Structure formats: C-alpha cells, structure tokens
Structure 1
Amino acid sequence: MGRNRKQADGDSNEDRYLSLINGYWWYKRRVPKLVAHLDQRAPQVRMTLKTKEKTLARRKRDQLETADDALWASFIVNGSNDPARLRYDSAVRRVEAMDFTFHSAATLEHVDNYDELRRRLLAVEESPHRKEIGLPLLGGIRVPKVKVSDAFKTYCDEIVADELVGKSSLQKAQWKKVKQRAVNNFIRIVSDKAIDEITPDDARKVYLHWLARIVPKKGEKATASANSGNRDLGNMRVLYDAYFKYQGQHNRTNPFDGFSFTQKNKRSRPPIPTEWIRDTVMKPGNLATLNEEARGILLIMIETGARPSEICNLEPANIRWSAKVPHLSIEPREDPEAPREIKTASSRRLVPLIGVALAAAERHHKLGFPRYRDREDDLSAVLNKFLRSNGLFPSKGHTVYSFRHSFEDRMKEAGIEDELRRILMGHTVDRPKYGTGGGLEWRRKQLMPIALKFDPSIV
C-alpha cells in the first residue's frame, strides 16, 4: 500500500469530493445509483487534478462537479431538459477542468490547429480515463444548435458580463434594451433560428427592413433614421462575432459584414442663446411651479454644463458646497449595493460651482436629489415637458440637453482654452495627461466671467 491518502471531510463542505493522494489532489465522487448503469465510470468517478494547491483543486473540482451534474441530468430526460445541451455543457466543463478550451472537431481539424490537436491527443494518451475524456477533449461531442435568443443570453450572462460590473440597475436595463431590440427585430424579420445558420441573405432582410423605413417610397415619410438601422445591424454583427469567438471560432465570416447606412446629416442639439437663458428661463416666477429638485438640477446644469444624469445621481458628499472652492465631484458610485458608472473615464472631474449653481447647491447639498436618484429618464421627461409646455425653449428643436451645449459655447466665447473646456465638460483630452488640468481655484477664476446674473428668488 504505502500511499499517503487523506480524504476530505464530508461532501457538504468546501472540500467535497476532494482527496489528497501522495501530495496531489484528486476528484472522487460516487455515481448516483439511478444512473449507475448508464455511466461507464460507476460505481465511482476518480480523476487526478494534477495540482498540490487546494484553491486550484477546488476550482477544478467545481468544473468537474458541474460537468457530472449535467451529464447525469442528460441521462434522465424529462420536462424541458435538453439532453444534447446537457451533454455538451458537461463536455465543456470537463475540458475546462483539464485546462483546455472545448472546440468542435471541425475546429480542431483546421490546419492551423495542428499543434493544439497534438497536445490534446497526448493528454488523452497519458490519461487513465481515455474513454471518458477522449470525446470531449477531441471535440467528439455534438455541439447543439443554439438559437439567436439563447446566444444573446450567453452574450449577456457570460461574454460581456464584466461590462455590467459597476452599472446601476437602470444602466444595465438601458445597456441591454437597445441590444435586445436588435435581437427581437431579427427574430421578427427572419426567425429565432440557430445562430450558426444565419446567412448573408438573412442579414440582407434586416438591411432591407430598415432601408424601407429610412428611404420610404415616394410620397411617404421616413419612420426611422440611418442611426437606428446601423445600431440594429451593428449589434447583431457584434453578437455574432463575439459569440463565435467565445466558442473558439475566430476566423468565422460574419454575415452582417458590409451592411450599413450612410448618415449624412447627423442632427445635433442646438444651444440655447445666453440671453434667452438669462432673461426667459431664469426670469423670476418662470420656474416657480417646477418641483424643487428638478429646478435645482436645472440651475446647476446651467452654470456647470454637467449632464442631468450626473447631477441627479450626486451623493451629498459629492456636492462640496462648503469646500474652500465649492465644487461638484463627478465620479462613479462604488457602493456594492447600489453601484453606478459614469459615461466615460474622462467624465470623472471636479467642476467649480459659480453663480446660480452655487446657490442651488447650497439648497440641496445636504440631501442631494433623492427624488431622481437612478431615475434620470424621469428627470429628463419632467424637465423637457415643463420647459416646452411653459414656452421656455426657443424652438421645438431644443431640449434640456441644449443647456449643456450652451455652457460650452459660453466658455468658448469667453476665450477659455480648449483643454479646460474639455475637462469641465467631461470630454476626452487628445494628448497624454500631465498634471491635474489646473487647480480648482484657477478653474473657478476662468469661469467667473461667464456667470449669469440672477435673482435669488428663483432658487
């Protein structure tokens, strides 16, 4: 005998199914009696994990445990269980536990993958469980057909899951909404077919659907923009490419390649003239019936150019009204219970409070704007409706975002240098970053000449 064995205690703790033999960890698990007659490894699964590190052994154990659960479930077909899918999932987990990536036989047979195929053959040859690992490792398990809707779920849950870290619930919903629309439209126009069966003709159907809306027949009005069509086609192109790269197929031709629309006249929100802001919007009484928090956000926006979503999501600690130079600290919310990211890395910034923004911050710095926290869409709807219905926009083309454009124009007209304007607006500075972009005292000094006179009663 003479073998140094140590069985991990019990199957309910974190070391379940682990055994230490001669310094190396093994995965040992009894095959359930219900399926023992269908599993050639019965009565016990036994596999070396080829590691002395317990943490790594636990990770591999988890993969093998999941693989066996899926395999045994595939032996019992009932309800909505898909045995082909379960066997495939089992194969993927088993291969991952061996530090390989599952590839189909067709992929491994490609001439560029000769070295990888050879490495796998050696692993099979060296294993005492050739029958059990040979098929999964060499791509002998049939890859089940995956519908577009299921591929999208994999895309969200696994492929780009890291992109959702730090987003609020609303931001996650908004992120998914446009991508889900592309998938829903594809299913409606074509079908919820297997993603590997999508053809260029299918992509062309989506293109023609949007073309009919963007360039309608003579006498009819356009019902969509080139941007909307490009978003759908682009999101399907990204989904297709990302899904197959995730499956190890990096050179697969994308059927959506080449389908897009030219957008010649990209609409931009017009700025609101300074005189209109000062004499109409900020005229005493004109904002009196707007709720207090929405009014405070609007007034801060006028003199900081910050995005409405940035202002309404400020924590009280980020409205630094009592600092030597009162300012807003616009940054991600890193609360694990209620995270929220900002638009881009360059959006993180310190913006001095001047004029009416300083007065509004004084009123709201203790609580912030709880009514609209994580409800920026509601805020935009309220502000746009109020300003439009009360005649406080110069034209139908203006929106609440126009105040942000106005702030940038006012800085430009005052001769404030381009780099500082970019920093204060949260735009990217196209050069290597050196220093802090000027201290708060200096930033405030640059902004003071553009501060608008106001009646304190409007706050």
Structure 2
Amino acid sequence: MAVETAVLGGVDRPRVKVSEAFEIYCNEVAAVEIVGKSEEQKKSWKKVKKYAVEVFTKVVGEDLAMEDITRDHAKKMHDHFKGMIAPKDAKAAKKSASLGKRRMGDMSILYKRYFAHIGVEGRPNPFEGLTFNQKFKKSRLPFPIEWVRDVILKPGALAGLNDDARHIVLVCIETGARPIELRYLRKDRIKLHDKVPHILVEPSFDPDEPHEVKTVSSVRRIPLVGVALEAMKLHPDGFERYRENGNTLSATVNSFLKENKLQPTGKETLYGFRHTFEDRLKEGRIDDELRKILMGHSIDREKYGSGGSLKLYQEELMKIVYPFDPAIV
C-alpha cells in the first residue's frame, strides 16, 4: 500500500491506489454480499468488476490514488467507452451501450463505497451521472422450435458431445433451466422418484459448496418430462464434470454446434435453448403467470398461494413436450 498520506476529514490516512481500493472492496466492503457465491461465481464476479479498474487505469495512464481522481479522469473513461459504442469509423466494430454503462457504474460504486468504508461521507463522486442509455438490448437468439425438433433431436446430431454436455443440452431443452442452474444441481435437488419427477433450483448454503441463484424468483420447481427425464435418470447426483466449469461447458457445446452446423444462423448458443423453451410455452398457450414461474421470472403482483401444484406444471408441459428417439440419450 502507498506510504504517502492524505488528509481526509482532518485525519491522516494512507494514499490508497485504485487497484488497492479494489482489493479492499472485494475482501472487506463486499465480503458479506459474495459469501454465498461458489468459488466459480466469486472469480467471475471479481473478474467482471476488475475490468472497470483495468480500463480506468489504462485510460488515465496510471494507477491513481483514490483521492486524486477528478471529474476529468472520469470523463476520459466515459469518452473511451463512447468511442467504442459510437466509433467515428462507421466500419469499426461497435460495443453495446450496456457495456459502458456497467463499467462506469462499477467505478462509481467502487469510489462511493470505498470512501464510505473508510468513514468519509458526502465526498463528491467524479463518476456520478456519467453513463449511457441503451435503446435496444441485445437478446440471445432462440433456436426455432421446429429446428430443435427436426435437427437437434435427430438421432446422431449430438452424438459427438460427451455424455454430460449432451445431457445438459437435453435437459435445457425440456426445462428451460439456465445452464448454471443445471450445473449446480446436487442429489438432494434431483427428485427422480417423486410422484412428479422434478428438479429444484435453489441456492446452496452449504459452507463447503455454496452457490447463488440469479434472483429470488429463480428459486423454483421444474417437472422433468420427455427427454429431460431420461437424461436426468443418468445423472442422479448431478453433472459433476461441469459443476465449477461453466466456461468449459459453454465452449464445448457452442463449438460443437458450430462445427456441426447445428445453428440455423450461426449465432445461436447453448443459452438459446432456454429462449426456445419460452417460445414453446407461448405457442402452447401456457398461462402467462405459469410461464414466469417455470422460467424463474418475477411476477409483478403480490404473491398469493403456492403458485400451483407440480402435477399442474407437469400436465401443462406435456402439451408441448418434444417426441424423441431414446437412442439420442
């Protein structure tokens, strides 16, 4: 840590650089907030947050002391992202406005919470108000419903994938679960022998294997029907191979889809099966609220009752279930 001192509120304090403040933020300020994350989730969280610090340091040309950051420094970072979002060269690749918005927001939060942490309240935040508005948000492409039925589920189409990756794809198709939700399944959340076979998506508070779910509404029960049930029968303890290797899973599946021409536009990814699942719910005229429950989306009203039985969920999903050849499992 820098040995020079700065006078803040009449008290001499060490001059802490941005990179050092970031480590304090991760290890002290946000420690309680990330305690429930898995090791993979913690690494991912820190990697994303650190990107803003790295960009800021590169743009201003040095690892400044937190007290030395000015509005001009913050504007330099804002201008950097402006050039990426709306480059002067019309042919240059463009980044999304949400990227700049998130990174500027990360620096603003770091600045605000670091000084609050050391007891300095009310300090003007040089990043305040420097953001970007995004008119259109990019969405992952769904696979066409018929494409999944006629191409992806065709015998032999996924045969080149290892068992865990292939079975995760099959379960994604018939549950709409996020890949990370399937990767973190444990034996106690895979209910193959219940009257209605299903999986439970919920956080883990086990200190040895903690993990979070995306939102409160993500906690849910999803019946296992069709090919998803058959695939899960082969993994009663979950998908250990990819439990802490989400990037490897995505790379494996997405490369396979590309190499085997299983993407109708060349841009669809593993996550696209979740979007296809929602399309199928809509096409099947499944009740809007039940769609949100099954997808793990929030319901914009006060919650009453249990949300319905698993038997109801199962009956509704059977209306849209894909036929399949058992050989594909």
* Counterpart in the other structure of 1:377: 247
Greater Rg, structure 1 or structure 2?
A: 1
For 2:161, which of 281, 287, 290 is the aligned residue?
Answer: 290
3-state SS, counterpart of residue 234 of structure 2: helix
* Counterpart in the other structure of 2:32: 162
* Counterpart in the other structure of 1:355: 226
321-330 or 246-255: bigger deviation = 246-255
Quote the Cα distance in structure 1 between the aligned partners of 2:72 and 2:184: 45
Deviation at 1:398, TM superposition (A): 1.4
Quote the Cα distance in structure 1 between the aligned partners of 2:189 and 2:89: 54
Deviation at 1:333, TM superposition (A): 2.1
* Counterpart in the other structure of 1:277: 148
3-state SS, counterpart of residue 350 of structure 1: strand
Deviation at 1:81, TM superposition (A): 9.3
* Counterpart in the other structure of 1:193: 64
* Counterpart in the other structure of 2:111: 240
Q: 1:380 to 1:167 in 2, by over 3 A?
A: same
Quote the Cα distance in structure 2 between the aligned partners of 1:170 and 1:230: 24
For 1:454, which of 321, 324, 327 is the aligned residue?
Answer: 324
Cα deviation, 1:188-221, whole Å, max 9, x if unaligned, reads 1112111122111001111111122222223541
Quote the Cα distance in structure 2 between the aligned partners of 1:245 and 1:222: 38
* Counterpart in the other structure of 1:226: 97
Say if 2:213 and 2:219, in contact at 8 Å, map to a contact too: yes
* Counterpart in the other structure of 1:410: 280
3-state SS, counterpart of residue 222 of structure 2: strand
Mapping 1:432-443, distance limit 5 Å: 432-443=302-313
Tell whether 2:13 aligns with 1:152: no
Mapping 1:72-221, distance limit 5 Å: 82=3, 106=9, 141-190=11-60, 191-221=62-92
Quote the Cα distance in structure 2 between the aligned partners of 1:183 and 1:354: 46
Quote the Cα distance in structure 2 between the aligned partners of 1:362 and 1:417: 29
* Counterpart in the other structure of 1:313: 184
Deviation at 1:242, TM superposition (A): 1.0
AA matched with 1:350: R
Give the structure, 1 or 2, with the largest relative contact order (CA under 8 Å, sep 6 or more): 2
Alignment gaps of 5+ in structure 1: 1-79, 89-103, 107-138
Tell whether 2:297 aligns with 1:419: no
Say if 1:200 and 1:255, in contact at 8 Å, map to a contact too: yes
Deviation at 1:143, TM superposition (A): 2.0
Say if 2:183 and 2:238, in contact at 8 Å, map to a contact too: yes
Aligned residues: 328
* Counterpart in the other structure of 1:133: none
Quote the Cα distance in structure 2 between the aligned partners of 1:230 and 1:339: 30
* Counterpart in the other structure of 1:336: 207
AA matched with 2:178: R
Q: 1:199 to 1:328 in 2, by over 3 A?
A: same
Say if 2:36 and 2:210, in contact at 8 Å, map to a contact too: yes
After TM superposition, the score normalised by the length of structure 2 is 0.95
Deviation at 1:393, TM superposition (A): 1.2
Quote the Cα distance in structure 2 between the aligned partners of 1:331 and 1:346: 10
Say if 1:167 and 1:341, in contact at 8 Å, map to a contact too: yes
3-state SS, counterpart of residue 228 of structure 2: helix
Quote the Cα distance in structure 2 between the aligned partners of 1:220 and 1:279: 38
Deviation at 1:323, TM superposition (A): 0.8
Deviation at 1:145, TM superposition (A): 1.7
3-state SS, counterpart of residue 143 of structure 1: strand
Cα deviation, 1:251-292, whole Å, max 9, x if unaligned, reads 222111221223223211122111111110000111111111
- Which structure 1 residue ranges, 4+ long, deviate > 6 Å from structure 2? none
For 2:134, which of 263, 281, 292 is the aligned residue?
Answer: 263
* Counterpart in the other structure of 1:396: 266
Quote the Cα distance in structure 2 between the aligned partners of 1:455 and 1:356: 9
Quote the Cα distance in structure 2 between the aligned partners of 1:251 and 1:219: 42
RMSD (CA atoms): 1.8
259-268 or 356-365: bigger deviation = 259-268
Q: 1:413 to 1:219 in 2, by over 3 A?
A: closer
3-state SS, counterpart of residue 179 of structure 1: helix
Say if 1:204 and 1:259, in contact at 8 Å, map to a contact too: yes
Deviation at 1:335, TM superposition (A): 1.9
3-state SS, counterpart of residue 266 of structure 1: coil
Deviation at 1:105, TM superposition (A): 7.1
* Counterpart in the other structure of 2:175: 304
Quote the Cα distance in structure 2 between the aligned partners of 1:143 and 1:368: 50
After TM superposition, the score normalised by the length of structure 1 is 0.69
Alignment gaps of 5+ in structure 2: none
Deviation at 1:152, TM superposition (A): 1.1
Quote the Cα distance in structure 2 between the aligned partners of 1:219 and 1:342: 40
Query: Between the two proteins, what is the percent identity of the paired residues?
Result: 50
Quote the Cα distance in structure 1 between the aligned partners of 2:178 and 2:266: 20
3-state SS, counterpart of residue 248 of structure 1: coil
AA matched with 1:184: E
